[in-house]
Amino acid sequence: MASQLSDNERWMMSFYRYSEITGALFFGRIAALVPAGQLQEDLTKHFADESMHSWYWTEAISELGYRPVSLRNAYQDAYLEAAGLPVNLMEILAITNVFEKRVIGQYSRHLRVPDLNPVIKKTIDRIVEDEKWHIQWINKALKSMADKYGDDTINKKLQKYKKADDEIYGKLLQENQERLQFLFNNTENAGEIRS
């Protein structure tokens, strides 16, 4: 199918695809290790969702008549580098909470791009429904851990990961300024690109 997909959009879709695969692999490993219970159930669903998201992007790119661009570094890798490896389930959930919020923010920003390709819009709409649940279940699970770790410790972790997230996202924007400019070309998003 012929389309007017720009190189930047194609790169962005490939980035999303790669990022969703990395997320799926991350959650798959944890889901395989945790003992049976609600957490195992939610983590397994989360893993399955992220893997489906990577498929939706693969399908969308193909539907538009393209192939994914090859990428080496996922956003998540930079996270673990900046914030350090999480050492327990609480830290895994805290880092994921921050990351999932960033994902929803990024997809929402993309939805505001004028004249958005309908295939991209359809794919983001479909994914965002699942991403909302991801934030919900993680918040709930984090709350249930307050007795064990303490609210203060959990909040400090969240703040630490938020700081790392801001840095990594700022760096991503900086390194790919030209490529990502299209996300900021409308009035609503204008002025958001910084640092």
For residues 46 to 65, the per-residue mask of contacts with Fe ion, x marking binding by CB under 5 A and - elsewhere, is ----x--x------------
In sequence order, which residues have a C-beta less than 8 Å from that of residue 89 and are 6 or more positions away?
30, 34, 39, 145
Sign of CA dihedral 22, 24, 27, 29: negative
- Return the residue of 95, 134, 168, 180 that touches Fe ion, per CB under 5 A: 134
Q: Give me the helices (H) in the chain, please.
A: 7-33, 38-63, 75-83, 89-111, 118-144, 146-149, 151-175, 177-180
Residues in 87-106 that interact with Fe ion by CB under 5 A:
100
Shortest distance (Å) from residue 57 CB to Fe ion: 9
Contact set for Fe ion, span 4-33 (CB under 5 A)? 20
Q: Among 22, 29, 17, which Cα is nearest to 55's? A: 17
The HSE-up count of residue 30 (CA atoms within 13 Å, CB side) is: 24
From candidates 131, 142, 165, 183, binder to Fe ion by CB under 5 A: 131
| Residue with Cβ nearer Fe ion (80 or 193) | 80
In this complex, which beta carbon is closest to Fe ion, that of residue 134 or of residue 157? 134
Using the minimum distance from each CB to Fe ion, give the nearer residue, 20 or 42: 20
Region of 72-80, 107-115, 124-132, 151-159 interacting with Fe ion (CB under 5 A): 124-132
Q: Which of 71, 91, 89, 61 is nearest to 22 (CA)?
A: 71
x/- mask, Fe ion, residues 139-178, rule CB under 5 A, reads: ----------------------------------------
Nearer to Fe ion by Cβ, of 69 and 135: the residue is 135
- Please return the burial class of 78, using the count of CB atoms within 10 Å of its CB with bins 0-12, 13-18 and 19+: middle
Site residues for Fe ion per CB under 5 A: 20, 50, 53, 100, 131, 134
